[in-house]
Structure 1
Amino acid sequence: MLLGAGMLAGAMNAVAGGGTFVALPVLMLAGLPPTMANASSTVALFPGTVASGWAYRRDIQPLAGVSSAILLGLSVTGGLVGALFLLFTPEKAFGTLIPWLLLLATVTLAAGPRANTLLRNVGLRFGGRSIYFAQFLLGIYGGYFGGAVGLMMLAVWGLATTADLRQLTPLRTVMVAAANGAAVLCFAATGLVSWAETSIVMIGGILGGYVGARLSRRLPANVLRGVILFITVVTTAVFFARAY
């Protein structure tokens, strides 16, 4: 079950994101408490993100008018702060919060590339300082939970540039890896990771990431997005039913 969940989560992340929707509930089903399951999920899916970032290293393009080094520092700092927030969140409180975090991620996945257009339509425009502040907040979210944080970054960056957001995907991948990396170090150092279950999900995630990358080239994008959205909606509904 854990291996299969890792494979599906890795494939989803390779295509459009949302792997947390599979890895987190299965780790909880395996008996881990919510905060440990969330931390273990972040650690398990981290190698796939790093691999993607390495593959994109030659394609990274900076965001116009914004320092990539500052973005990186804010992502790391925010990821660490978010991880510390998780460490001090009571299990019961986090269990109540999970459905709402999943709902936020589901809405982001559903909006997809249109998210920045929707934000522009309501009059939002970002400059350098606003982007830096938003990046720090996104880093916190990434370290605390992280579902669909990459898409959230693209949506925010779209308020500061007219560049093709697909060109910003390599930069997005590196920033997500930076935020997750800080959280992973924090979780590992504080003993919040259940390594037996995490290792199995991690192996599945690496395999699934490879398969997902190949599928994304062969299957229609609408079909893949439809399957991912179905999984995210069902998972969110189940968590709301359990919590309320």
Structure 2
Amino acid sequence: MTIFEICLLTSAGFLAGVINAIAGGGSFLTFPALVFAGVPAIPANATSAVAVFPGYLSGALGFLDELRVYPRRHLSALLGLSVLGGVLGSLLLLVTPATVFSAVVPWLLGFATLVFAVGKRISNWAERRSQTTGNLGTLSTLIVCIYGGYFNGGLGIILLALLSTLGVRDLNVMNGLKNAMSFILSAASVVTFALAGIIYWPQALLMMVSATVGGYCGALLARRLSARVIRSIVICVGVAMTIVFTFRTI
């Protein structure tokens, strides 16, 4: 890595940690930074997943009390589907031709940005829906987890909406489940990517360290800076990256 690439990845990782601690959406920085640092699109997506996934564990541990009282059978089912979806999504990424994935990236970024921007409306809509049960609920959960294993942009908002349709109403329980499912499916994806040998480990470890520091600073900053401001910044970054990657494919 060059000095410029080290500075770019360190800065992106740090800012992603800050953003994830306050509002979420750090992958809008880590993935593009890796691509601009010369990492091919598919390994960049896998490496980005490695860089951000430890933060999900700390988030889940923060809601451990809520997870302990959640019905064990339902929790096991959700986490089992998270593992299956994470593996299937990562395998789908591995068999996707590089040219196809590069062409799909702008659409994925645009979709994730849109989901992030209207996340509140999505959650409100989901709350008004009747509870989804049985096979439909299982299929919906699996599809969302496959998306998370393939490309996890906007995953948090989608999971919150999914949990609402599954009948979960307590916000703390929802956040605990969201973080636990995100960590499990990301861990499954990371293991799959590691076995496939497509992770750029020096870049991943560098961004993990800087993201951890950024997450700590973000927790302190959250007391002073409005989450609305951070969300606006994330949306602007998402739109900009969508435009940039669109022109890269032309």
Q: Same fold (TM over 0.5)?
A: yes
Q: How do 1:190-209 residues align onto structure 2 when only pairs under 5 Å count?
A: 190-209=196-215
Letter in 1 for 2:61: W
| Per-residue deviation, 1:208 | 1.1
SS of alignment partner, residue 67 of structure 1: helix
Q: Which moved more, 1:35-44 or 1:5-14?
A: 5-14
Shift of 1:59: 2.9
Q: Which residue of 2 aligns with 1:111?
A: 118
Distance in 1 (alpha carbons) for counterparts of 2:143 and 2:69: 20
List per-residue Cα deviations over 1:55-101 (Å, max 9, x = no partner). 32223277789711101000011000111111111111100011111
Q: Following the alignment from structure 1 to structure 2, what is the Cα–Cα distance between the partners of residues 145 and 32?
A: 16
The answer to whether the 8 Å contact 1:14/1:213 transfers is yes
Instruction: State the Cα deviation string for residues 76-135 of structure 1 (Å, max 9, x = none).
Output: 1100011111111111110001111111111111112220323567x6752243222111
Aligned residues: 243
Q: State the partner residue of 2:44.
A: 37
Question: What is the DSSP-based 3-state SS (H/G/I as helix, E as strand, rest coil) of the residue aligned with 2:166?
Answer: coil
Q: Distance in 2 between matches of 1:145 and 1:74?
A: 16
Alignment of 1:222 onto 2:198: no
Alignment of 1:1-244 (within 5 A): 1-60=8-67, 67-119=74-126, 126-161=132-167, 163-244=169-250
Q: Which moved more, 1:54-63 or 1:136-145?
A: 54-63
Q: For each residue in 1:211-230, what CA deviation from the matched residue of structure 2 results, as whole angstroms up to 9, or x when unmatched?
A: 11222222122212112211
Structure 2 letter corresponding to 1:30? A
Q: Label 1:107 to 1:66 Cα distance change in 2 as closer, same or farther (>3 A).
A: farther
Cα separation, partners in 2 of 1:124 and 1:236, compared to 1, 3 Å:
farther
Post-superposition Cα deviations, 1:181-224, rounded to whole Å, max 9, x if no partner, equal: 00000111111101111111111111111111222222122212
Q: TM-score, normalised by structure 1?
A: 0.92
TM-score (norm 2): 0.90
Q: Report the residue type matching 1:117 in the other structure.
A: N
Instruction: State the secondary structure of the residue aligned to 1:147.
Output: coil
8 A contact 2:63–2:172 mirrored in 1: no
Map of 2:5 onto structure 1: none
Q: CA deviation at 1:242?
A: 1.8
Q: Which amino acid aligns with 1:108?
A: V
- RMSD over aligned CA atoms reads 2.1
Q: Deviations over 1:13-69 (max 9, x none)?
A: 222221111001110111111000000000111112222222322232777897111
Q: Percent identity?
A: 37
SS in 2 for 1:192: coil
